Amino acid sequence: MNLPKLPLAQWIDHLVDWITTTLDPFFGAISTGIEWLLKNLVALLSTGPSIVLIILITLIALYTSRWGIAIFTFIGLLLIDNLGYWDATVNTIALVLSSVLLTILIGIPLGIWMSQNETAKKIITPILDFMQTMPAFVYLIPAILFFGSGVVPGIIASVIFAVAPTIRLTNLGIREVPNDLIEASQAFGSTTRQKLFKVQLPLAAPTILAGVNQSIMLALSMVVIASLVGAPGLGAEVYRAVSQIKVGEGFEAGISIVIIAIIFDRISQNLRKPLFGKVVSKKMVYTILAIVLLLGYIATAIHEYKPSANGSGNVGDQVNYKITGIDPGAGLMKATKKAMKEYGLTDKWTLNEGSSAAMTAELKKAYEKKEPIIVTGWTPHWMFKKYKLKYLEDPKGSYGKGESIHTLTRKGFSSENPGATKVLDQFNWKPSNMEEVMVDIHDGTKPADAAEKWVKAHKKEVAQWTKGAPRGGGKQVKLAYVAWESEIASTNVIAKALEQQGYDVKLTQLEAGPMFASIADGSSDAMVAAWLPTTHKDYYDKFKGKFDDLGPNMKGTKLGLTVPKYMKVNSINDLKK
Amino acid sequence: MEARNVKVAVKNVTKVFGKSPKAAVQLLKKGYSKRDILKETGSTVGVNSASFDIYEGEIFVVMGLSGSGKSTLIRMLNRLIDPSSGEILIDQEDIVKMSPAKLRDVRRKKISMVFQNFALFPHRTVLENTEFGLEIQDVDPTKRRESAMRSLELVGLKGYENQLPSQLSGGMQQRVGLARALASDTDILLMDEAFSALDPLIRKDMQDELLEIQDSMHKTIIFITHDLDEALRIGDRIALMKDGSVIQLGTPEEIMMHPADEYVERFVEDVDISRVITAGHVMKRAEKVYPDRGPRVALQIMKDQGYSSIFVVDRKQKLLGAITADAASLAIKENKSIEDVMYKEIVTVPQDTLLADVLEPMANTNFPIGVTDEGNRLKGVIIRGAVIGALAGNRDHLNGTEDDE
């Protein structure tokens, strides 16, 4: 049997393309709504100094829970403030609150519907299974196509991931109401609505709240993943720290998330039966809370109000003073920050963090609609073959000259495996070579197949690399690489070349920081993906002396701010205008 | 029996649970048994063509063991369960054909229900539970509070209105259930094993209380129970169910005296018979003597019949006293009249006294107990042997009821 592979991936791609173009206004509206909600929440939570919010949250914790929890809340929040993560925390709280608000708005009605209607239950249940188990990464990047990068796709992904327990437990809670109570309410002539609101929902409330509590925790667990598409907050702090292998900072941000999680969990668990509920009625507390929030909001609104500087048509306005970046730890991001400083793009301009996948998704979205966009770009990259793009001129040389990609091996590898070391040392090719492989991969060919194709078609180059190297005879070579398109291409190609020589090659995909760490600690043998002297400068310096640098395998790479050719701007200098 | 208004008429009502009730109904009409139908169609027969009338103001008890279909039957009366076929007329209106809106109206205004496990809403206070029916009808809050308070007072729960059901004992909880049903002021009260979850002493109290309330309110009560004692105590009429069919319908006495078949007979065997059988059932024809006949005649009668004593009555059959054989002999010797020697403090009971209530006086006297009517006229005598025989379940000792006279 030799059935052709079902083109499922292509179908999904077409579907996503179709949805992106057809439902764009709809997604735009959702996006605007969520952004508005989040912006106001953040503004509200940042009213006054941090101590105001800390005391308010402590009071809520005290009201709902025990003294111990209140003390923990107070000290925990002070610690976060002290560590310098308060702004990130406010962003995270706002993100989680918005996600939970949406979760409740979507989840409870769906759960009610599911409990009343068997057909609905049969349809919703498998969708929930799908949502809970489908890895968030899978819909995170498409979410950028629909909603643009930033916090909105992060919230959408959180809601998709977190909404299931609320729906399930609402349904369960309503269905668990004892039958004789249902009979009693019917026997007295309740309508379906009366039965629902007077009997089923009040009795299901504990179960529903348990569901909401679960949703809150799941939404919190998504903050780091949400930061991959540019959501700000503690997640981004963690991501930045980890991708730069700043263990201590990562821990600080991580512990902040834990503190927030515990506070949220305890408060939401006790919300139904507050400890001091008998002393102060719930209604009164909610009223006071509402008044405080309202006053705070008015205060912020007045404070924030500025006549809007409206579109003078310059580039900054066109792109909302936003540069779409990649992974926060990347040298490219560091270089871009430096460039922004040197070109005076400081006051209004922001550099959005995310990931290279998020950046290309954002670029695709803008490019298809011919909208202005500025991204951080580098060559070789398939996007230069796929779209018509140009680098902005960099007269001040902030990005430095072109970079080289170096081959690194772990200490001691050259003596253990001189053959493979020789091949790796002689590995050398040009950006245009690499881009051939990259476009192939981007168009759907499996990396290994694309690499094999390239190796077959370029026997002469490959022969240069393997010249004089002994055959491997099944010796193992562990190659680490980062999941950038360029590195996927080069690593697969050199792996093919080594395999041809009789080596047993194992590939390990890692983030940039861990890739360096794995060479330094010897868990990987080699990598061909060190961008120097700019992109991976931090890692290179951090692990210096713990690896052997075999020199560049490619020269002539480039970094810089990149725009589509349909934009008129040509130089970074022009952005200032 | 005076002509009475039919409040609820159940006509050929059948309920089949399962996927193909129609097929099962057809088989039922052909006379298939419940078991055969389960085998043939996989459907369970809940109630099989039940027909009866319930009169206004009576307590109608539906009695049967679990699985007999009694709970299904009562739930069809307010359509918590929809009948598979048949008609249920409430005040001449067929509830089976009613639109949902009309049905809701009937449930709100005409029928209320009390449940076996109370079915109180745990998140509502006693008062809020009681006013639930009125709240559903959007009755003005002050008014419904007043009604609810009245019903709570009626069941003796004044002062508990702000407690939660979980803070009350089982008996009190069911009083709330009863108050909730009464608050809607419906004509018909469905009581589904309302007292079965209570312990026996409380159950008796509740039965008495229900009878008391019924005395003043004259509702039409349909009461489900599996307890024959309870059925006999409170029922004006009893419908006995087995395997989904009504196998006998009658007054408690009729059911006790004339069991329709062996099943009912076996059923009534275990009943506390002293609570059903009356003095009238066990009394014998009394041997009596007029005082002017003299002690010799009295003694002769006693000798002939083998009694140790006989009653003394006047010409109008009014009971005067009793005379023993010894007293009669003494009177003959000393030439005294019957009136001089007769024992005047005779214990008497009316004819409808329950046997249970005869036992104690019987233990405290050496004389037989007289059964008299309102005018103190002697109707018969209760002797120990007959009582013991009746309690032992021997029906030979029993007089028939009305129709024997």
pLDDT 10s digits, A167-213: 999 999 999 999 999 999 999 999 999 999 999 999 999 999 999 99
Number of domains in chain B: 2
Contacting residues of A for B132, CB less than 8 Å apart: 184-185, 188, 198
What CATH code is carried by the domain that includes residue B118?
3.40.50.300
Rounded to a whole number, what is the largest CA-CA distance in chain B?
90
Tell me, what's the ipTM?
Answer: 0.73
Tokens representing residue A234 in the block: 């503690």
**Alpha-carbon distance values, A194 to A188, A404, B337 (Å):** 11, 72, 83
Beta strands in B3-121 (DSSP E): 6-17, 44-55, 59-64, 85-90, 93-94, 111-114
Contacting residues of A for B133, CB less than 8 Å apart: 188-189
Q: Which residues pair with B89 in a beta bridge?
A: B9, B94
Question: Cβ-count burial of A519 within 10 angstroms (0-12 exposed, 13-18 middle, 19+ buried)?
Answer: buried
Contacting residues of B for A190, CB less than 8 Å apart: 104, 136
Q: Compute the distance between CA of residue B311 and CA of residue B369 in angstroms, rounded to an integer.
A: 10
Q: Which domain holds residue B331?
A: 279-397
What does the pLDDT read at residue B283?
84
Task: For residue A344, count other CB atoms closer than 10 A to its CB.
Answer: 12
- pLDDT of residue A295 exceeding 90, the answer is no
Average model confidence (pLDDT) across chain B: 86
Same domain, B262 and B286: no
What does the pLDDT read at residue B405?
33
Contacting residues of A for B104, CB less than 8 Å apart: 189-191
Same domain, B232 and B326: no
What does the pLDDT read at residue A1?
58
- pLDDT of residue A387 exceeding 60, the answer is yes
- pLDDT of residue A524 exceeding 70, the answer is yes
Higher-confidence residue of B296 and A75: namely A75
A106-130: b (≥16 Cβ within 10 Å) or e: ebbebbbebbbeeebeeebeeebee
The C-alpha of B165 sits at a distance from chain A's nearest C-alpha, in angstroms, of 13
In degrees and rounded to multiples of 5, residue A458 shows phi and psi of -125, 55
Check CB contact under 8 Å for A184 and B112. Answer: no
Tell me the pLDDT band of B222, cut-offs 50, 70 and 90: very high
Mean pLDDT throughout A346-366?
84
Query: How far, in whole angstroms, is CA B323 from its chain's centroid?
Result: 39
Residues in chain B: 405
Tell me the pLDDT band of B394, cut-offs 50, 70 and 90: low
In a domain, B290, yes or no: yes
Contacting residues of A for B122, CB less than 8 Å apart: 203
Q: Strand B319-324 vs strand B309-313: parallel, antiparallel, or unpaired?
A: antiparallel
In a domain, A15, yes or no: no
- pLDDT of residue B404 exceeding 90, the answer is no
Same domain, A360 and A386: yes
In a domain, B211, yes or no: yes
pLDDT 10s digits, A248-265: 888 999 999 999 999 999
Same domain, B247 and B368: no
Higher-confidence residue of B395 and A149: namely A149
Check CB contact under 8 Å for A189 and B108. Answer: yes
User: Which of A185, A186, A188, A190 would you mutate first to test chain B, the one with the most B CBs within 10 A?
Assistant: A188
Q: Are B197 and B170 within 8 A, CB to CB? A: yes
Tell me the pLDDT band of B403, cut-offs 50, 70 and 90: very low
Higher-confidence residue of A577 and A493: namely A493
**Highest mean pLDDT, choosing among A437-451, A490-504, A509-523:** A490-504
A188-192, A281-285, A546-550, B199-203: segment of lowest average pLDDT: A281-285
Same domain, B75 and B119: yes
Same domain, A321 and A294: no
Sign for the CA dihedral angle at A100, A104, A106, A112 comes to positive
Same domain, B259 and B293: no
Tell me the pLDDT band of B402, cut-offs 50, 70 and 90: very low
Q: Compute the distance between CA of residue B133 and CA of residue B180 in angstroms, rounded to an integer.
A: 7
Q: Are B43 and B37 within 8 A, CB to CB? A: yes
In a domain, A262, yes or no: yes
In a domain, B88, yes or no: no
What CATH code is carried by the domain that includes residue A129?
1.10.3720.10
Same domain, B284 and B249: no
Task: For residue A183, count other CB atoms closer than 10 A to its CB.
Answer: 18
In degrees and rounded to multiples of 5, residue B65 shows phi and psi of -80, 170
Q: Which residues pair with B241 in a beta bridge?
A: B64, B246
Packing angle between helix B355-363 and helix B384-391, nearest 10 degrees?
Answer: 140
In a domain, A538, yes or no: yes
Same domain, A271 and A415: no
What does the pLDDT read at residue B1?
45
Same domain, A394 and A407: no
Q: Are B368 and B382 within 8 A, CB to CB? A: yes
In a domain, B23, yes or no: no
Q: Compute the distance between CA of residue A513 and CA of residue A434 in angstroms, rounded to an integer.
A: 23
What does the pLDDT read at residue A375?
92
Same domain, A198 and A209: yes
Same domain, B130 and B165: yes
- pLDDT of residue A30 exceeding 70, the answer is yes
What CATH code is carried by the domain that includes residue A474?
3.10.105.10
In a domain, A16, yes or no: no
In a domain, B228, yes or no: yes
Same domain, B194 and B113: yes
What CATH code is carried by the domain that includes residue A344?
3.40.190.100
The C-alpha of A113 sits at a distance from chain B's nearest C-alpha, in angstroms, of 21
| Contacts of range A35-42, beta carbons closer than 8 Å, 24 or more positions apart | A35/A150, A35/A151, A35/A152, A37/A98, A37/A101, A38/A94, A38/A95, A38/A98, A38/A151, A38/A152, A38/A155, A40/A297, A41/A94, A41/A97, A41/A98, A42/A90, A42/A91, A42/A94
Tokens representing residue A466 in the block: 């393997």
Contacts of B215 (CB under 8 A, 6+ apart): none
Same domain, B251 and B195: yes
What does the pLDDT read at residue A11?
87
What does the pLDDT read at residue A311?
43
Q: What is the DSSP letter of A471?
A: P
Check CB contact under 8 Å for B108 and A203. Answer: no
What does the pLDDT read at residue A76?
94
Q: Are A480 and A473 within 8 A, CB to CB? A: no
Number of domains in chain A: 3
Nearest CA in chain A to B132: A188
What does the pLDDT read at residue B140?
92
Q: What is the DSSP letter of B381?
A: E
Average model confidence (pLDDT) across chain A: 86
What does the pLDDT read at residue B3?
58
Same domain, A81 and A137: yes
In a domain, B35, yes or no: no
In a domain, B213, yes or no: yes
pLDDT 10s digits, B352-361: 888 888 888 8
Q: Compute the distance between CA of residue A278 and CA of residue B144 in angstroms, rounded to an integer.
A: 27
Question: Cβ-count burial of B239 within 10 angstroms (0-12 exposed, 13-18 middle, 19+ buried)?
Answer: buried
What CATH code is carried by the domain that includes residue B390?
3.10.580.10
B132 at the A interface (CB within 8 A)?
A: yes
Mean pLDDT throughout A390-395?
88
What does the pLDDT read at residue A241?
83
Tokens representing residue B41 in the block: 């169609």
Q: Are B67 and B230 within 8 A, CB to CB? A: no
Q: Compute the distance between CA of residue B7 and CA of residue A502 in angstroms, rounded to an integer.
A: 98
Same domain, B221 and B105: yes
Same domain, A362 and A475: no
**Alpha helix stretches (DSSP H) within B235-289:** 252-257, 262-269, 279-282
Same domain, A242 and A211: yes
Check CB contact under 8 Å for A183 and B136. Answer: no
Q: Please compute Rg for chain A using Cα positions.
A: 28
In a domain, A507, yes or no: yes
Task: For residue A267, count other CB atoms closer than 10 A to its CB.
Answer: 20
Mean pLDDT throughout B254-274?
79
Same domain, A527 and A571: no
B125 at the A interface (CB within 8 A)?
A: no
What does the pLDDT read at residue A535?
78
Same domain, A161 and A291: yes
In a domain, B24, yes or no: no
pLDDT 10s digits, A314-342: 778 888 888 998 887 777 888 898 889 88
Please identify which residue in the block is written with the tokens 């809970």: A132
What does the pLDDT read at residue A303?
61
Same domain, A368 and A472: no
A194 at the B interface (CB within 8 A)?
A: yes
A189 at the B interface (CB within 8 A)?
A: yes
pLDDT 10s digits, B125-165: 999 999 999 999 999 999 999 999 999 998 888 889 899 99
pLDDT 10s digits, B72-123: 999 999 999 999 989 999 999 999 999 999 999 999 999 999 999 889 999 9
Nearest CA in chain B to A206: B123
Q: What percent of chain A has pLDDT over 70?
A: 96
- pLDDT of residue A309 exceeding 50, the answer is no
What does the pLDDT read at residue A307?
45
Q: Are B114 and B181 within 8 A, CB to CB? A: yes
Q: Which domain holds residue A459?
A: 403-555
Element (H, E) at B208: helix B200-217
In a domain, A3, yes or no: no
Check CB contact under 8 Å for A202 and B108. Answer: no
Q: What percent of chain B has pLDDT over 70?
A: 95
Contacting residues of A for B121, CB less than 8 Å apart: 181, 184-185, 198-199, 202-203
Q: Are A409 and A423 within 8 A, CB to CB? A: no
Q: Are B361 and B369 within 8 A, CB to CB? A: yes
What does the pLDDT read at residue A575?
83
Same domain, B74 and B117: yes
Cis status, amide bond into A533, omega within 30 of 0: yes
